[in-house]
Amino acid sequence: MNDTMTLAVITGSVREGRFGPTVTNWFAEQAGQHGLFAVDVIDLARTPLPVTLPATPEEMTDVDGRPEDRRRLARRLAGADAFVVVTPEYNHSYPASLKNVIDWHFTEWQAKPVALISYGGWGGGIRAIEHLRTVFAELHAVTIRNSISFDQHWERFDADGRPVDPVGPNGAAKALLDQLGWWSRALREARAITSYSN
């Protein structure tokens, strides 16, 4: 088995003027330096999905019947060993764009770890994180204990997209990646031995 694992880092916001890519780019750089993962950045603003879902579970899992751009996204998610979701907090929760990509895919998340990073307002988006934990549990994914949140995010990064005070965020990123690496390896080995069934 190839020892390099693939980490999909997902930018959840599609709003005009969004801050999400700044956080995503910072974290993707940290993940690249960490050395355990090959990083695949998925921007939901560049991978749009219809709001209307197929009528039946069979149609939902028929990835081959989708247009090529949607098949490509499904393949990227399926090929990931782990996920990091970067989310803002909108109205005490996460954005509809994230729920849409989650709902369009089912088996792609199963028996894989998910780490959560949030930003937004004074609370740093932690309510979005807590809501996502329950959604991913329903999809048989494992959300790891550590998360990262940025309160007053507009003050936390400089004009070049780097943390103004990097010690805390970079240390939190390393701790999160260490945990994510343990879960990624353990679950990948388990999936290789026994197919996951829900």
Tens of pLDDT, residues 139-154: 999 999 999 999 999 9
CA distance 130 to 51: 24
Provide the token pair at 127: 């309510």
Q: Taking a C-beta distance cutoff of 8 angstroms, is the pair 119, 149 a contact?
A: yes
Which pLDDT value is given to residue 2?
62
pTM, two decimal places: 0.94
DSSP character at residue 107: G
What confidence category does residue 75 fall into, taking pLDDT thresholds of 50, 70 and 90? very high
What confidence category does residue 197 fall into, taking pLDDT thresholds of 50, 70 and 90? confident
Average model confidence (pLDDT) across the chain: 94
Domains assigned to the chain:
5-192 (3.40.50.360)
Which pLDDT value is given to residue 122?
81
The strands making up 113-119's β-sheet, listed across from edge to edge, are 37-43, 5-11, 82-88, 113-119, 142-150
DSSP character at residue 53: P
